Protein backbone atom coordinates (compact mmCIF):
# COMPACT_ATOMS: atom_id res chain seq x y z
CA UNK A 1 0.00 0.00 0.00
CA UNK A 2 1.33 3.41 -0.94
CA UNK A 3 1.61 5.80 2.08
CA UNK A 4 1.45 8.90 -0.13
CA UNK A 5 -1.86 7.71 -1.64
CA UNK A 6 -3.28 7.19 1.88
CA UNK A 7 -2.15 10.68 2.90
CA UNK A 8 -3.72 12.19 -0.23
CA UNK A 9 -6.99 10.32 0.40
CA UNK A 10 -7.00 11.57 4.01
CA UNK A 11 -6.38 15.16 2.92
CA UNK A 12 -9.11 15.01 0.27
CA UNK A 13 -11.59 13.55 2.80
CA UNK A 14 -10.77 16.35 5.24
CA UNK A 15 -11.13 18.94 2.48
CA UNK A 16 -14.47 17.44 1.45
CA UNK A 17 -15.68 17.52 5.05
CA UNK A 18 -14.62 21.14 5.47
CA UNK A 19 -16.29 22.07 2.19
CA UNK A 20 -19.55 20.40 3.30
CA UNK A 21 -19.36 22.27 6.63
CA UNK A 22 -18.90 25.59 4.85
CA UNK A 23 -21.75 24.89 2.43
CA UNK A 24 -24.11 23.92 5.25
CA UNK A 25 -23.12 26.97 7.34
CA UNK A 26 -23.62 29.27 4.34
CA UNK A 27 -27.00 27.71 3.58
CA UNK A 28 -28.15 28.05 7.22
CA UNK A 29 -27.00 31.67 7.29
CA UNK A 30 -29.59 32.52 4.64
CA UNK A 31 -32.45 30.72 6.40
CA UNK A 32 -34.97 32.32 8.77
CA UNK A 33 -34.40 32.09 12.51
CA UNK A 34 -37.23 29.57 12.92
CA UNK A 35 -35.48 27.16 10.52
CA UNK A 36 -32.17 27.57 12.35
CA UNK A 37 -33.94 26.88 15.67
CA UNK A 38 -35.52 23.73 14.24
CA UNK A 39 -32.09 22.72 12.95
CA UNK A 40 -30.64 22.96 16.46
CA UNK A 41 -33.52 20.95 17.92
CA UNK A 42 -33.20 18.26 15.25
CA UNK A 43 -29.48 17.90 16.01
CA UNK A 44 -30.33 17.39 19.69
CA UNK A 45 -32.98 14.80 18.81
CA UNK A 46 -30.54 12.95 16.56
CA UNK A 47 -27.96 12.81 19.36
CA UNK A 48 -30.70 11.59 21.73
CA UNK A 49 -31.60 8.84 19.25
CA UNK A 50 -27.96 7.70 19.32
CA UNK A 51 -28.25 7.71 23.11
CA UNK A 52 -31.26 5.39 22.88
CA UNK A 53 -29.27 3.06 20.62
CA UNK A 54 -26.39 3.11 23.13
CA UNK A 55 -28.78 2.19 25.95
CA UNK A 56 -30.21 -0.69 23.89
CA UNK A 57 -26.63 -1.87 23.21
CA UNK A 58 -25.75 -1.78 26.91
CA UNK A 59 -28.92 -3.69 27.81
CA UNK A 60 -28.16 -6.33 25.17
CA UNK A 61 -24.59 -6.68 26.51
CA UNK A 62 -25.74 -7.02 30.13
CA UNK A 63 -28.36 -9.60 29.15
CA UNK A 64 -25.77 -11.54 27.14
CA UNK A 65 -23.30 -11.56 30.03
CA UNK A 66 -25.90 -12.58 32.63
CA UNK A 67 -27.64 -15.16 30.42
CA UNK A 68 -27.40 -17.95 33.02
CA UNK A 69 -29.53 -16.05 35.53
CA UNK A 70 -32.30 -15.17 33.06
CA UNK A 71 -35.62 -17.00 33.32
CA UNK A 72 -36.09 -16.78 29.52
CA UNK A 73 -33.09 -16.67 27.20
CA UNK A 74 -35.24 -15.57 24.23
CA UNK A 75 -34.83 -12.03 25.48
CA UNK A 76 -31.13 -11.97 24.46
CA UNK A 77 -31.60 -12.21 20.65
CA UNK A 78 -34.63 -9.94 20.94
CA UNK A 79 -32.45 -7.28 22.58
CA UNK A 80 -29.77 -7.61 19.88
CA UNK A 81 -32.37 -7.38 17.11
CA UNK A 82 -33.81 -4.29 18.79
CA UNK A 83 -30.43 -2.53 18.38
CA UNK A 84 -30.60 -1.96 14.59
CA UNK A 85 -34.30 -1.22 15.05
CA UNK A 86 -33.40 1.59 17.45
CA UNK A 87 -30.98 3.02 14.88
CA UNK A 88 -33.87 3.35 12.44
CA UNK A 89 -35.10 6.22 14.64
CA UNK A 90 -31.91 8.10 13.75
CA UNK A 91 -32.56 7.52 10.04
CA UNK A 92 -36.11 8.85 10.45
CA UNK A 93 -34.85 11.96 12.22
CA UNK A 94 -32.15 12.60 9.61
CA UNK A 95 -34.77 12.33 6.86
CA UNK A 96 -37.12 14.68 8.70
CA UNK A 97 -34.21 17.07 9.28
CA UNK A 98 -33.42 17.09 5.54
CA UNK A 99 -37.10 17.82 4.79
CA UNK A 100 -37.21 20.70 7.27
CA UNK A 101 -33.99 22.29 5.98
CA UNK A 102 -34.53 21.30 2.33
CA UNK A 103 -30.79 20.50 2.42
CA UNK A 104 -28.77 17.30 2.49
CA UNK A 105 -26.73 16.39 4.51
CA UNK A 106 -28.50 18.27 7.31
CA UNK A 107 -25.73 17.55 9.86
CA UNK A 108 -22.09 16.54 9.60
CA UNK A 109 -21.34 14.95 12.95
CA UNK A 110 -20.98 11.54 11.31
CA UNK A 111 -18.28 12.88 9.00
CA UNK A 112 -18.37 13.34 5.26
CA UNK A 113 -17.30 9.74 4.58
CA UNK A 114 -20.34 8.39 6.39
CA UNK A 115 -22.65 10.75 4.49
CA UNK A 116 -21.10 9.84 1.18
CA UNK A 117 -21.45 6.11 1.91
CA UNK A 118 -25.04 6.40 3.15
CA UNK A 119 -26.33 8.71 0.48
CA UNK A 120 -28.70 7.47 -2.21
CA UNK A 121 -26.34 8.90 -4.83
CA UNK A 122 -23.49 6.73 -3.54
CA UNK A 123 -25.66 3.65 -3.99
CA UNK A 124 -26.08 4.62 -7.64
CA UNK A 125 -22.35 5.31 -8.05
CA UNK A 126 -22.79 9.08 -8.31
CA UNK A 127 -20.85 11.75 -6.44
CA UNK A 128 -22.56 12.79 -3.22
CA UNK A 129 -22.33 16.46 -2.33
CA UNK A 130 -24.30 19.11 -0.50
CA UNK A 131 -27.65 19.52 -2.24
CA UNK A 132 -30.72 21.65 -1.65
CA UNK A 133 -34.27 21.82 -2.91
CA UNK A 134 -36.02 18.87 -4.51
CA UNK A 135 -33.03 16.56 -4.50
CA UNK A 136 -32.52 17.09 -0.76
CA UNK A 137 -36.23 16.46 -0.13
CA UNK A 138 -35.99 13.24 -2.15
CA UNK A 139 -33.04 12.07 -0.08
CA UNK A 140 -34.90 12.97 3.10
CA UNK A 141 -37.85 10.82 2.02
CA UNK A 142 -35.48 7.94 1.22
CA UNK A 143 -34.11 8.14 4.77
CA UNK A 144 -37.63 8.28 6.25
CA UNK A 145 -38.94 5.34 4.21
CA UNK A 146 -35.73 3.37 4.81
CA UNK A 147 -35.94 4.07 8.54
CA UNK A 148 -39.55 2.89 8.68
CA UNK A 149 -38.77 -0.28 6.71
CA UNK A 150 -35.66 -1.09 8.77
CA UNK A 151 -37.48 -0.38 12.04
CA UNK A 152 -40.38 -2.61 11.01
CA UNK A 153 -38.08 -5.45 9.88
CA UNK A 154 -35.87 -5.45 12.98
CA UNK A 155 -38.84 -4.86 15.27
CA UNK A 156 -40.59 -7.87 13.76
CA UNK A 157 -37.37 -9.87 14.14
CA UNK A 158 -37.12 -8.87 17.83
CA UNK A 159 -40.78 -9.76 18.43
CA UNK A 160 -40.45 -13.13 16.69
CA UNK A 161 -37.33 -13.91 18.75
CA UNK A 162 -39.00 -12.85 22.00
CA UNK A 163 -42.03 -15.07 21.34
CA UNK A 164 -39.96 -17.87 19.71
CA UNK A 165 -42.35 -17.78 16.74
CA UNK A 166 -40.52 -20.01 14.23
CA UNK A 167 -43.23 -19.55 11.62
CA UNK A 168 -42.30 -15.88 11.52
CA UNK A 169 -38.57 -16.32 12.17
CA UNK A 170 -37.89 -18.70 9.26
CA UNK A 171 -38.75 -16.25 6.43
CA UNK A 172 -37.05 -13.37 8.27
CA UNK A 173 -33.85 -15.41 8.59
CA UNK A 174 -34.04 -16.25 4.88
CA UNK A 175 -34.51 -12.58 3.95
CA UNK A 176 -31.58 -11.57 6.17
CA UNK A 177 -29.35 -14.30 4.73
CA UNK A 178 -30.09 -13.32 1.13
CA UNK A 179 -29.61 -9.61 1.88
CA UNK A 180 -26.27 -10.28 3.62
CA UNK A 181 -25.11 -12.49 0.74
CA UNK A 182 -25.96 -9.83 -1.82
CA UNK A 183 -24.32 -7.14 0.33
CA UNK A 184 -21.11 -9.12 0.79
CA UNK A 185 -20.90 -9.99 -2.91
CA UNK A 186 -21.57 -6.37 -3.91
CA UNK A 187 -18.91 -5.04 -1.52
CA UNK A 188 -16.33 -7.53 -2.84
CA UNK A 189 -17.12 -6.63 -6.46
CA UNK A 190 -17.00 -2.91 -5.64
CA UNK A 191 -13.60 -3.29 -3.92
CA UNK A 192 -12.27 -5.20 -6.93
CA UNK A 193 -13.64 -2.53 -9.28
CA UNK A 194 -11.98 0.22 -7.24
CA UNK A 195 -8.62 -1.54 -7.16
CA UNK A 196 -8.76 -2.31 -10.85
CA UNK A 197 -9.61 1.21 -12.03
CA UNK A 198 -7.75 3.21 -9.35
CA UNK A 199 -4.48 1.42 -10.13
CA UNK A 200 -4.53 2.69 -13.70
**Cα 183 from chain centroid?**
15
Q: CA 66 to CA 28: how far, in whole Å? A: 48
Q: CA 77 to CA 33: how far, in whole Å? A: 45
Dump strand ranges (E) for the chain.
103-104, 131-132
Q: What is the pTM of this model?
A: 0.73
Q: CA 4 to CA 13: how far, in whole Å? A: 14
Computed from CA positions of residues 43, 44, 48, 50, in that sequence, does the dihedral angle turn out positive or negative?
positive
Find, among 99, 102, 98, 107, the residue nearest to 133 by Cα: 102
**pLDDT (tens digit, 9 = 90+) per residue, 148-191?**
999 999 999 899 988 888 898 899 999 999 999 999 999 999 88
**pLDDT (tens digit, 9 = 90+) per residue, 87-112?**
899 999 999 999 998 988 888 765 44
Poorest-confidence range of 86-95, 120-129, 137-146? 120-129
Amino acid sequence: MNPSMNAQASVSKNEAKEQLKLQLADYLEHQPESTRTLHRWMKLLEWASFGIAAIVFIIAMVLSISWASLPRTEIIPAAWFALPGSLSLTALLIGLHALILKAYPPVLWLGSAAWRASSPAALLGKNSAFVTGGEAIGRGWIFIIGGILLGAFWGLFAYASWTANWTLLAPLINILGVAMGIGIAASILYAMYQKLFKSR
